[in-house]
């Protein structure tokens, strides 16, 4: 698509409604239901980077620092982890989301015409420039962290490049992993759990195969969380031929796949913690699964289409706390 398609923004952009501060905030954070009509190019750029989606990756970095067992509270370490959060949030997730907005522009023109690209608020050439700046900035920052951590092998740079490639094939043709229910949701789950975890771990300790494999197993719980988001768009996905799990298996079966992957893979991690004699941490992790099962029963399984957001808001804090408990356990055990 050429830039001409977005060359006359004033024709297509609606002005913001007075006093709709909630919609303005959603706009800046890159959430659905945002207010249209932003005119500041920097706010539009931020909107493309969807800051709300940075949070899980920033949290993943903290879990990795915990699992390294080497994190101590010094000013230098605080600075290191802050830079690592900037890498995983604004740079790498910002890059990922901008690429996704770029390749979703035609479908967004139908479903979310107020988004920056379909509304014509930013020309495509500037979106491409933003993608390049975030990608090069992210890889450069990853290399700085490798040097800072004294790595002989640039582990963090490799994770950043691998993540960037994954993000590209997730959104861009010909692979467009997001069209495939299993691959797309696992890519999402692993990039939200495993990749930032590896990065935080590598920054302070030695990234090893046990951590890599454990976090890839943990990522199946992330797959379940990613599937929860597919219920809201089931009709549109079906019409567009997107094979999300709810489209492939129907609402009820997909809801069960969702909750079983979330619960069983967290339980599997707790079992591993028992195996390495981290019984207290394992017990806490198991206790944190109980409220998630309760919310699955109260909300999600009863009506996945109506209660998906309510379920995520109530249950997710327990899942993310469990990740930190696991990180601390692995760090304590010296895995």
List of residues contacting ligand LFCQNMSN (CB under 6 A): 57, 87-88, 92-93, 96-97, 100, 104, 142, 159-160, 163, 166-167, 170-171, 178, 187-188, 191, 195-196, 199
Residues ≥6 apart with Cβ < 8 Å to 14: 36, 37, 114
Q: How far is the CB of 142 from ligand LFCQNMSN (least distance, A)?
A: 6
Cβ 333 to ligand LFCQNMSN shortest distance, Å: 24
Minimum distance of ligand LFCQNMSN from residue 209's CB (angstroms): 19
Shortest distance in whole angstroms from residue 255 CB to ligand LFCQNMSN = 18
Phi, psi of 241 (to 5 degrees): 75, 20
Nearer to ligand LFCQNMSN, 161 or 298 (CB): 161
Taking the CB of residue 331, how many other CB atoms lie within 10 A of it? 23
Task: Report the nearest approach of ligand LFCQNMSN to the CB of residue 199 (Å).
Answer: 4
> Of the two residues 100 and 272, which places its CB atom closer to ligand LFCQNMSN in the complex?
100
User: 132: Cβ–Cβ under 8 A, 6 or more apart, which residues?
Assistant: none
For residue 18 the two structure tokens come to 């007075």
Helices 54-68 and 181-204, packing angle to 10 deg: 50
Least Å from the CB of residue 252 to ligand LFCQNMSN: 22
Q: Between residues 203 and 273, which has the closer beta carbon with respect to ligand LFCQNMSN?
A: 203
Q: How far is the CB of 111 from ligand LFCQNMSN (least distance, A)?
A: 8
- Cis peptide bond upstream of 174, omega within 30: yes
CB 157 within 8 A of CB 165: no
| Residue showing the smallest CB distance to ligand LFCQNMSN in the complex | 163
Whose Cβ is closer to ligand LFCQNMSN: residue 187's or residue 286's? 187
Between CA 245 and CA 254, with CA 250 as vertex, the angle to 5 degrees is 50
Residue placing its CB nearer to ligand LFCQNMSN in the complex, 200 or 273:
200
Name which of 10 and 239 has its Cβ closer to ligand LFCQNMSN. Answer: 239
Q: List all residues 6 or more positions away from 283 whose beta carbon is below 8 Å from its beta carbon.
A: none
Q: What is the DSSP string of 191-202?
A: HHHHHHHHHHHH
**Backbone Cα Rg of the chain:** 20
C-beta closer to ligand LFCQNMSN: residue 191 or 219: 191
Q: Which residue, 36 or 196, is less far from ligand LFCQNMSN as judged by CB?
A: 196
Report the helix count and the strand count for the chain, using DSSP H and E.
Answer: 16, 0
Q: How far apart are CA 205 and CA 72, in angstroms?
A: 11
Main-chain phi, psi angles of 302, to 5 degrees: -75, -40
**Shortest Cβ 53–ligand LFCQNMSN spacing (Å):** 7
């Amino acid at each position: 698509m050429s830039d001409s398609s977005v060359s006359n923004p004033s024709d297509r952009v609606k002005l913001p409604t007075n006093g709709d501060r909630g919609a303005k905030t959603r706009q800046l954070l890159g959430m659905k239901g945002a207010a249209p009509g932003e005119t500041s190019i920097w706010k539009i750029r931020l909107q493309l980077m969807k800051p709300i989606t940075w949070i899980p990756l920033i949290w993943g970095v903290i879990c990795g620092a915990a699992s390294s067992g080497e994190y101590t509270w010094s000013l230098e370490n605080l600075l290191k982890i802050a830079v690592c959060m900037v890498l995983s949030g604004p740079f790498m997730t910002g890059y990922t989301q901008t690429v996704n907005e770029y390749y979703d522009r035609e479908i967004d023109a139908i479903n979310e015409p107020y988004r920056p690209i379909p509304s014509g608020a930013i020309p495509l050439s500037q979106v491409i420039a933003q993608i390049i700046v975030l990608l090069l900035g992210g890889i450069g920052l990853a290399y700085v962290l490798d040097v800072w951590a004294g790595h002989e092998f640039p582990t963090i740079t490799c994770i950043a490049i691998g993540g960037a490639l994954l993000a590209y094939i997730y959104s861009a043709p010909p692979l467009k992993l997001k069209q495939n229910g299993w691959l797309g949701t696992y890519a999402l789950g692993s990039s939200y759990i495993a990749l930032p975890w590896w990065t935080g771990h590598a920054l302070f300790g030695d990234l090893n195969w046990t951590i890599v494999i454990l976090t890839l197993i943990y990522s199946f719980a992330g797959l379940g969380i990613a599937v929860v988001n597919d219920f809201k768009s089931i009709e549109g996905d079906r019409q567009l031929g997107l094979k999300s799990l709810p489209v492939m298996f129907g609402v009820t079966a997909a809801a069960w796949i969702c909750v079983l992957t979330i619960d069983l893979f967290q339980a599997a991690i707790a079992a591993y913690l028992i195996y390495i004699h981290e019984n207290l941490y394992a017990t806490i992790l198991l206790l944190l699964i109980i409220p998630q099962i309760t919310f699955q029963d109260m909300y999600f399984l009863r009506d996945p289409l109506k209660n998906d957001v309510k379920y995520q808001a109530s249950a997710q804090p327990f899942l993310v706390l469990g990740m930190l408990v696991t990180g601390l356990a692995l760090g304590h055990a010296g895995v």
